Structures are given as C-alpha cells and as structure tokens.
Amino acid sequence: MSSSDQPSTHTPSHVGESPVFFVGAERTGTTLFRLLLDSHPEITCMEGFRFVAEALPPPEAGQDPATISLPTMAEYEEFLSTDNQFAGMGLTFDSSLGSVIEVAQSFVEQRKAAAGKGIFVTKLHRDAPQMLRLWPDARFIHLIRDPRAMAKSGVAKDWGFNTYLSAQKWVETEREWNELCQWVPADRRLEIRFEDLATDHEAALAPVLAFLGVTYDPEMLSYVAPTDYDRPNPAKADEWRTTMSEREIQLAEARVGELLTERGYEPSGLPALDVGANELKKIKAEATAKKWKHKLEEYGPYFLAEFAARKVGVRSIEVKCKTEMNKRERASRIRSWREDGREYAYSPSRKAELGLAPDAP
C-alpha cells in the first residue's frame, strides 16, 4: 500500500465497538506488536482470533467476504470444543445468543470487560477477509516484515523446517492482504513495517495509535517487566543478513518471487535459485518427515490416532484424541505473557530472573 492510501490521523466514530484486526504472517513481529498495544491503558489486544476466523469458510475468488456462509450455532460450538486457542482464552460460549455473529461479538465484549479497556484489537495470521462477514465495518492494520527474516525465524522455531516452505506462510498472508484491500477502503486500513517498529517504535506507532484514536503512552513498554520480550531492538531490523546462509536466502527469495519488491524489499543480489519439481518434492518430503517426527515426539500415539480418525471420519475418536493433544500442548508450551485466569506461565529463564521456584506457575 502506498503512503497516499494511509491517513496520518484517524478518529473513527466506532472506536471501541467493532474490532480492529492486525494482520501479519507468523514470525513478523506480531507478538511484540501485540504486547505494545495491549500494554496501552486504553487498548486490549488479544493474542489471536483463530477460533473465530477458522470457523468461517474462505470466500471464493472474487466473492464479497460479507456474503460467505456462517456455521450454525451447534456447528460452531462443536468447532470450539476442540480448538486449543479457544480453550486457553478464558471466554464463555453463550448458547442463548441467536447467531454466530452475536457470539463473536460477545467474545469481544468479554475481553474488553475483563481488561477494563474500551478498544479491542486482535491479531490474525490469515483468514482476515472472513471477519468482514461478522463486522462489515472492521478496520485492519497490516504488519509486514522482510520475508527472509520471517523465513529464518520460522526455521529457528522448528515449524518452518526450511526457508522455502517457511516463506510460503508469508506469501499466503500477503496475497490474502491484497484480496482484503479490494473490499476495505483505504481509510479503514493501515500498514506498519516491523523494521520501523524495531528501529524507532514510538515514531512507527504514531500513525497506528492515531488510527485507534489514542496517543502514545510510556506504559506501552511495561510488558518488559513480566515477559521475556525486550524493548524493540534496532538490531533485529536486518539481522537476517548475518544469520542466513546464501542458500537459505536464495530459497526464501525463490518462494517469494516478485512479492519481495512489491512490498518494498530489495533482492539480495545472489543468483536466483530455480526450484524445479524434483527439488520441490525433496524439500516437501524433508519437511513432512521433520513435521511427523515433531508431532510424534509431542503427542505420541494420540497424533496417529487423531490423524487416522479424521481420515476415516470417526468423529468421537478424533475429538477424544484432539482434546488430549490440546492438553499436552498447553502443558508444555512456554508463554511469554501472564494474565490472571489464563494458562500462561513464565519461562524458566524469566523465573530465575524473578527469583521464582522452577515449579512455580
């Protein structure tokens, strides 16, 4: 999006009513951005809305997202019964409400009430267009980061497996953003770059906060005390240049293609890598093997049983296995943000720094 598309100040009449969604691929600084916003005295920023977005079907090519179908209340309640993100949110599904739209809005109101704040923001890695079916006047913030940095970070977190497939997630999010812009006018969307956020967070946040109808508050950095996240670090802006091998860069650039320059990032200048059918097959096979190994180590036989039950359509076994897998994931996951009534915990390093016992919550 060009700078001419973005208002320098914006105080919409529905601040604090319809949600504001910020959209960014995994590993693009979405958690840092969320912590900054959530620490503002007037903003509550939820760490995800996947449990709403994924329940809605994506629009067909060229379809107005406001016309997509909605699940029934029973279908949505069943969907939530095995959704791991929803299980950790501390939200209540109110079956007395009349529609999924009302339920989704109730989640927003529950979060605002719990936080004691009037402005609700949440992040989405994908499925942003579906939100227009629930909130036709929703507003969106686009958080973008150099895809090479994102791809390397994904590999480091052991879910990207290689920079080619890791960059695929960036491509999917950016293409979806292009589609979203067809339906959302310029005064209801804004773009921020991770590199600017890391270099000068206060300046980078100024248009975002104006978009939300508030001003900068020093409390936005208060997340540093209770979390493992440091202040925005300028060194992170182009760290990929010194941490990636040439092949890793080439693989990421091969997958991203022209989207790299379309988003304002310069190619590395390395020889272009032609990833043919055989090479791609090898890349995917290696990633699949690593993924299955990871899943088996984390979930054991429940992963295999859930996979088989889902394939043959035995819903009762699928739900039972998925529920157990969700429990194991929540028990083992290290969270960086701690709130009352939530399933978060300090990491071991943070516990040591705060003088907490290793088995403390």
Alpha carbon distances (Å) from 293 to 165, 287, 288:
17, 10, 8
What's residue 333's pLDDT? 58
What's residue 142's pLDDT? 98
Contact 172, 25 (CB under 8 A): yes
pTM: 0.83
CA distance 355 to 361: 13
What's residue 159's pLDDT? 63
Q: In sequence order, which residues have a C-beta less than 8 Å from that of residue 16 and are 6 or more positions away? A: 112, 118, 119, 120
Q: Which two tokens stand for residue 179?
A: 């589609």
Contact 124, 49 (CB under 8 A): yes
What's residue 8's pLDDT? 30
**Which residues of the chain carry a pLDDT beneath 50?**
1-16, 334-351, 353-354, 361
Give me the residues paired with residue 123 across strands. 22
Residue appearing with tokens 């791809």: 151
Q: Which two tokens stand for residue 207?
A: 């248009």
Alpha carbon distances (Å) from 127 to 197, 309, 329:
24, 26, 23
Looking at residue 56, its amino acid is L
What's residue 32's pLDDT? 93
CB atoms within 10 A of CB 300: 13
Digit-coded pLDDT (tens) for 322-350: 888 888 877 665 443 444 333 334 444 44
> Which SS3 state, helix, strand or coil, does residue 44 take?
strand
Digit-coded pLDDT (tens) for 184-223: 999 999 999 999 999 999 999 999 999 999 999 999 999 8
CA distance 111 to 109: 5
Contact 154, 240 (CB under 8 A): no
- Rounded to the nearest 10 degrees, how much is the dihedral formed by the CA atoms of 89, 93, 94, 98? 120
CA distance 49 to 125: 9
Ordered by where they begin, the domains of the chain are 3-275 (3.40.50.300), 300-355 (no CATH)
Of residues 141, 135, 147, the one with CA closest to residue 36: 141
CA distance 350 to 39: 19
Positive or negative: CA dihedral 145, 149, 152, 156: negative
What's residue 286's pLDDT? 85
Looking at residue 104, its amino acid is A
Pairing assessment for the beta strands 20-23 and 189-193 based on DSSP bridges: unpaired
What's residue 26's pLDDT? 92
